[in-house]
């Protein structure tokens, strides 16, 4: 039977949430969601219900987390930089096990960090659906929806670069947990769209100029988890309750095709992360090194999973400062 990985953060939010706040998530005043598809998105999947927003009762670093589920109409929200515009843009992929989106914790709070630095932040509310026991959304190629949304978004950014005051050669992606996998998938599946071209934006490159994956999942392969029912290139992620303490292979997920064209990459991981095992990041790091792709990885002893940008007592809480330095070293920001 097929098993699906669900992030610890999403499980906690789903089990201890207040009633839905609104039917559809809306950004703060002054920002507008933009539909990324002019009509029905490609490869649609049914959802268990309409899109809804819920807030956790449990506090993370002193604050609750807002989650969005049953997203079938993906949107992008552009947060323009404050003060000087560097031209750099980062598309943010919140995590949530491809079943929900931690829209503030790994979304709007990231934009609050980036825009004062003169970086345009684009928050992607990509498709995540849940039907019955197992989600119909998931990592590519299990489901193409999230990757299709990400490809479309980067193409739209390049198409509207002059209008939105972004440098088409300084567009990167940054994701957390499942969103970290999506950042890696974008970095290795940009040569061809997964869907027929909709308009001129889809004829532009969707290759990110740089990528950052924070406590990413789905990056390694474990032969013991191989399920012949899903083909030679299908890998199955253990359910959360079977992952704690288990070792994973350093073999790269075969659905991630790293080449010399894969963009420079930044990785952050805690060794005590029992949701996305450290070997996920290590396997991707090794693959990037073998391909000659510039990669910087920061591995910390403590931090667990889903720490976001909120302050903690551990050194890992300073990872955003290292991203600032890295963006300068790869030429995306000036000194």
- pLDDT at residue 205 tops 50: yes
b/e per residue, 21-43, with b = 16+ CB within 10 A? eeeebebeeeeebeebbeeebee
- For the stretch 314-323, pLDDT in tens is 999 999 999 9
Separation between Cα atoms, residue 333 and residue 326, nearest integer Å: 9
What's the pLDDT at 181? 98
Structure confidence at residue 62 (pLDDT): 81
| Closest listed residue to residue 182, CA positions, set 122, 75, 95 | 95
Q: Predicted confidence band at 15 (pLDDT cuts at 50, 70, 90)?
A: very low
For residue 288, CA distances in Å to 64, 74, 256, 265 come to: 36, 30, 11, 8
The pLDDT score that the predictor gives to residue 223 is 55
pLDDT computed for residue 248 by the predictor: 59
Task: Give the model's pLDDT for residue 249.
Answer: 79
Alpha carbon separation from 200 to 37, 157, 160, 194 (Å, rounded): 13, 12, 11, 15
Mean pLDDT calculated for residue range 232-240: 37
At 242 the pLDDT is 35
- Tens digits of residue pLDDT in 270-282: 999 989 889 999 9
Residue 247 has what pLDDT? Answer: 52
Domain boundaries, the chain: 8-329
Give this prediction's pTM. 0.90
| Percentage of residues of the chain with pLDDT beyond 90 | 76
pLDDT one-digit tens code per residue, 156-173: 999 999 999 999 999 999
Confidence of residue 58 (pLDDT cuts 50, 70, 90): confident
pLDDT the model gives residue 235: 37
Average pLDDT over residues 171-182: 98
Is the confidence at residue 267, as pLDDT, over 60? yes
Distance, in Å, from the CA atom of 130 to the CA atom of 238, rounded to the nearest integer, reads 18
Q: What is the rounded end-to-end Cα distance, in angstroms, of the chain?
A: 52
Question: Do residues 303 and 316 make contact, with C-beta atoms less than 8 angstroms apart?
Answer: yes
100-149 pLDDT, tens digit each: 999 999 999 999 999 999 999 999 999 999 776 656 789 999 999 999 99
pLDDT of res. 112: 98
Output the pLDDT for position 21: 60
CATH topology (fold) of 8-329: Rossmann fold (3.40.50)
pLDDT at 232 over 90: no
pLDDT for the residue numbered 9: 56
């Amino acid at each position: 039977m097929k098993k699906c990985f669900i992030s610890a953060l999403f499980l906690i939010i789903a089990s201890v949430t207040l009633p839905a706040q609104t039917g559809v998530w809306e950004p703060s005043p002054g920002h507008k969601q933009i539909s990324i598809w002019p009509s029905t998105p490609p490869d649609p999947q049914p959802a268990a219900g309409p899109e809804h927003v819920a807030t956790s009762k449990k506090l993370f670093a002193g604050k609750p987390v807002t989650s969005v589920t049953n997203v079938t109409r993906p949107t992008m929200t552009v947060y323009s930089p404050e003060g000087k515009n560097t031209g750099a843009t980062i598309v943010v992929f919140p995590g949530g096990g491809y079943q929900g989106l931690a829209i503030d914790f790994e979304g709007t709070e990231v934009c609050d960090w980036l825009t004062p630095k003169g970086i345009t932040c684009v928050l992607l509310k990509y498709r995540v659906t849940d039907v019955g026991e197992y989600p119909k959304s998931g990592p590519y190629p299990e489901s193409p929806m999230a990757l299709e949304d990400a490809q479309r978004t980067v193409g739209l950014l390049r198409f509207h670069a002059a209008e939105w005051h972004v440098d088409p050669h300084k567009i990167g992606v940054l994701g957390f947990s499942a969103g970290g996998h999506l950042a890696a998938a974008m970095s290795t599946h940009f040569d061809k769209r997964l869907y027929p071209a909709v308009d001129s934006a889809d004829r532009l490159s969707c290759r990110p100029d740089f990528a950052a994956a924070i406590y990413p999942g789905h990056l390694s392969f474990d032969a013991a988890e191989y399920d012949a029912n899903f083909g030679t290139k299908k890998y199955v992620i253990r359910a959360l309750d079977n992952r704690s303490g288990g070792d994973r292979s350093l073999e790269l997920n075969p659905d991630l095709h790293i080449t010399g064209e894969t963009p420079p990459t930044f990785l952050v991981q805690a060794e005590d992360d029992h949701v996305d095992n450290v070997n996920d990041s290590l396997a991707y790091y090794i693959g990037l090194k073998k391909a000659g792709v510039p990669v910087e990885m920061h591995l910390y002893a403590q931090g667990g999973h889903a720490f976001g940008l909120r302050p903690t007592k551990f050194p890992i809480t300073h990872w955003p400062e290292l991203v600032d330095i890295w963006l300068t070293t790869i030429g995306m920001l000036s000194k």
